[in-house]
Amino acid sequence: MAAAAAAATATASSGLIRCATGGAPAHGHHQVFRCSAAKPSPLALRHRAGRPAPLQAFPEYDRVTPFDYDGEVDGGDGDDHPREECGVFGVVGDPDATSLCYLGLQKLQHRGEEGAGIAAAGDDGTIKLERGLGLVGDVFGDPARLGKLPGQAAIGHVRYSTAGAAASLRNVQPFLAGYRFGQLAVAHNGNLVNYQALRNKLEAQGSIFSTSSDTEVILHLIATSLSRPLLARICDACERLAGAYSLLFLTADKLLAVRDPFGFRPLVMGRRANGAIVFASETCALDLIDATYEREVEPGEVVVVDRRDMSVSSACLVPHRPRKSCVFEHIYFALPNSVVFGHAVHERRNAYGRALAEESPAPTADVVIPVPDSGFYAALGFSQTSGLEFQQGLIRWHYSGRSFIQPSQAIRDLAVKLKLAPVHGVIRGKSVVVVDDSLVRGTTSSKIVRLLRDAGAREVHMRIASPPVIGSCLYGIDTPSEGELISNRMDLEGVRRAIGCDSLAFLSLDKLHTIYGDEAHELCDACFSRNYPVLPTVPEPVPELVSAFED
């Protein structure tokens, strides 16, 4: 417990909140901590003194990460779903750390398909980095790349990017920096809503940025912090951040996991039989490498694993905020075999479908089909409650490539049929209920309706297992601008006519809250309600930068 005591003592100089000790498991030096609702530190109070502004003052925030322009202008493969920005994975205390990290990233591939990277700390204390554009298997397809990353500790990252220019290698994480206290690597899942204000201040003070990612701001804040030791510097930096962040840091001898005070994005901790500690965005990655789930990294908590003795200690960044877990993790992003925010994802989706059938039945329908893959469990729940037959009426082809690269609209339309193929024997002559997890732009839904009608469906009834999306996300999800959100532009009947179905219904926000019961207030549902827990901060003018451009 000496390491935990030292960590708690070290936090005093930066005004960190001390933690209450929970139960300790039977193995290792691991001690579980829970953050106490203590008085905020002066740094936290200073951070909160910024000037929040209403969303309409931020047209540049129409997309989740306006400063990280690395995506495809038209959304890449034309999929109508929003995209998770990234996933993180880390392991410490295992001789196969790099290979385990590679496998963990493979399991988190759905959270980011445009770039991947791994940073590993060797036995000599040197951190090495390998990263590239593409899928995890493409980036690390050559075993020699993993062979360059020896050591017993590693962190990894998969990412999507937002709209704008082509994907850029410079923004692929983890980021690795060297400063006066050594090397530091970081992997980040989330989005900082005060990024621009922080970057302006840092640049005015002489900082030079080499990427357009908000994650680089975190490294600059750590490097310029006057606190000691590293734990205090990281907490000092995080107290200045606003928004969503689940972070993994790697040094020569430590792995640190940090989660923002609201707990927007998931981050879990597990342990392998040999005592290795594992962190991941989802529990499915723990399952793959035979790691036992132990707990979430708590909102506002930093967990430190010292790989020299595998001791685990914890501190609190700031007092508790009201938990605001992203409900879209359950609706769409996470794999159904994951446990996220304490709930089995497949059970949540099944509950959405059952509630949807109670609210909006389709009495004339013959069969229920899901939009693969994320609509499966909601459609199953709809079938169970309605008594309608469940069938797999649409088959998703996962190897079709990006439809937007085709040379003409006619060819692009054929490419859509390659991606989603109707099962004619299930659909022909039937009144079909189609259950999807969400409806964002409406483009995919309209194509599905046409496919089903062309396949001989008598009627097509769309049922959406979430409320209408009317607001963009600020916390780490790539959503379209509000002008592109079909439910923000049209009423229910207008949306129905636009996608061409016979009837349309969404799960209501009240019903969604009912599913969660007493936990409903712990959800971030800003994309459905526009109730944003943390607003962007207006960047202060930087005269030095203005005069430089005027010259």
93 with 105: CB under 8 angstroms?
A: no
Q: What does the H/E/C string look like for 392-444?
A: CCEEECCCCCCHHHCCCHHHHHHHHHHHEEECHHHHCCCEEEEEECCCCCCHH
Q: For residues 274-293, b (16+ Cβ closer than 10 Å) or e, as one string?
A: eebbbbbbbbbbbbbbebeb
Nearest of 320, 340, 323 to residue 111 by alpha carbon: 340
How far CA 297 is from CA of 263, 268, 352, 426, in Å, comes to: 9, 6, 27, 45
Whole-number Cα distances in Å, 463 to 140, 435, 441, 500: 40, 5, 15, 13
Starting at the earlier edge strand, list the strands of the sheet with 431-436: 389-390, 367-370, 431-436, 459-464, 503-506
SS3 at position 453: helix
Q: Is 306 annotated as a binding residue?
A: no
Give the separation between CA 284 and CA 141, rounded to whole angstroms: 22
Phi, psi (deg, nearest 5) at residue 42: -55, -35
CA distance 448 to 372: 11
212 is in an annotated binding site: no
How many Å apart are CA 85 and CA 214, to the nearest integer? 12
Q: Is 524 annotated as a binding residue?
A: yes
19 marked as binding residue: no
Q: Is 290 among the annotated ligand-binding positions?
A: no
Six-digit token pair at 298? Answer: 């708590």
Residue 41 DSSP code: P
Active site residues: 86
> Which residues are part of a known binding site for Mg(2+)?
374, 436-437
> Which residues are part of a known binding site?
326, 374, 436-437, 473, 524, 527
> Which residues are part of a known binding site for [4Fe-4S] cluster?
326, 473, 524, 527
